[in-house]
Amino acid sequence: MTQSTTDYDNPWKSMIERYFREFIAFFFPWIEPEIDWLRGVRFLDKELQKIVRDAELTKRYADKLIEVYKVGGEPTLVVCHVEVQNQPETVFPKRMFVYNYRLSDRYDCAVVSLAILGDESENWRPSTFENGLWQCSLRFEFPVVKLLDYAADWQALEASENPFAVVVMAHLKTKETHRKPLERKEWKYRLTTMLYERGYEEQDILELYHFLDWLMLLPEELEQQFQVELGQFEEARQVRYVTSIERMAEQRGRQEGRQEGRQEGRQEEREAIALKLLRQGLSLEMIAEITEVSIEQLQNLQSQQ
């Protein structure tokens, strides 16, 4: 269980897509009232992937491309870059600029680039890209949120009902408990039980728990202890949101897909994991989410068993 194996990207992508309005309200509150939420939002991740390929930008992060409408205005694009690497990267401002101008050129509209920095460097805070020669210059600025800053006001995070307060706490404690499995188990339990105390609906508890569970990976023995303690907590509250038999089977599938599938990139390996999960009886939808194998491919695998 090393820091380098922690998968931050996929959980962040999932949370941004499910709670995009809460994401904007928490990190960029001045933007939230400027968006016409009644007109909905549209995620354009495939378009962003094409931009990335065309730009030959080899490093990939939890980037999201979302189309929203301004209040009383025309559509605009919001590019959300969630930077989760452990070390500063000198080309990051340039990548923000490249994404922005390529999208502006492609869609002929205003493009807003937002950055979330999840690294542990106190001084790395890139927010501009500049270039120029012979009196010809450009300067690109973008708003940046540094997750490390939230650690200074932990009480505010605990008091906030926004789900991204939990996301930030989990992100910070995952990094803080690197190579400290006992401490991580304690924080995983504390943050999970906090979900119930905040009065979230069952589905929100499950979504946030999946985020915690994905990030805060524990050794098997400690994970079993955690499940026992959480089961006792749920029993005392007379609820079975997380520790029901179905939920625990789902969690085992997620963990196995996580642990076996993080380093694989080939279709054959993904299908091998999918086949194993099919034999465990998980739903096609859940296996598709874990392995990124399509429903149609899963059905073909199922018919071959």
| Residues 43-62: b if buried by 16+ CB within 10 A, e if exposed | ebeeebeebbeeeebeeebb
Domain final residue, candidates 117, 133, 149: 149
How do residues 182-240 score in pLDDT, each as one tens digit?
Answer: 999 999 999 999 988 888 888 888 889 888 888 888 888 888 888 888 888 888 876 66
First-to-last alpha carbon distance for the chain, in angstroms, is: 34
Domain final residue, candidates 149, 184, 207: 149
Asked if residue 140 and residue 29 are part of one domain, the reply reads yes
Asked if residue 118 and residue 227 are part of one domain, the reply reads no
Highest mean pLDDT among 42-56, 74-88, 163-177, 283-297: 163-177
Asked if residue 132 and residue 15 are part of one domain, the reply reads yes
Reference 227, options 235, 165, 140, 264; nearest CA is 235
Asked if residue 81 and residue 183 are part of one domain, the reply reads no
pLDDT, position 173: 93
Least confident of 107-121, 189-203, 286-300: 286-300
Model pTM?
A: 0.73
Q: What is the mean pLDDT of residues 90-109?
A: 86
Domain final residue, candidates 111, 132, 149: 149
Asked if residue 197 and residue 128 are part of one domain, the reply reads no
Asked if residue 179 and residue 120 are part of one domain, the reply reads no
Asked if residue 297 and residue 168 are part of one domain, the reply reads yes
Residue with the larger pLDDT of the pair 40 and 61: 40
Asked if residue 118 and residue 86 are part of one domain, the reply reads yes
266 near 292, Cβ under 8 Å? no
Host domain of residue 204 = 154-304
Asked if residue 167 and residue 116 are part of one domain, the reply reads no
Asked if residue 68 and residue 201 are part of one domain, the reply reads no
How do residues 12-33 score in pLDDT, each as one tens digit?
Answer: 888 888 899 999 999 999 999 9
Asked if residue 120 and residue 30 are part of one domain, the reply reads yes
Q: How many domains does the chain have?
A: 2
Token representation of residue 262 = 């993080």
Asked if residue 177 and residue 118 are part of one domain, the reply reads no
If DSSP codes are grouped into helix, strand and coil, which group holds residue 66?
strand
- Could you give the CA distance from residue 92 to residue 60 in angstroms, rounded to a whole number? 11
Q: How far is CA 113 from CA 12, 68, 144, in A?
A: 17, 13, 9
pLDDT, position 96: 87
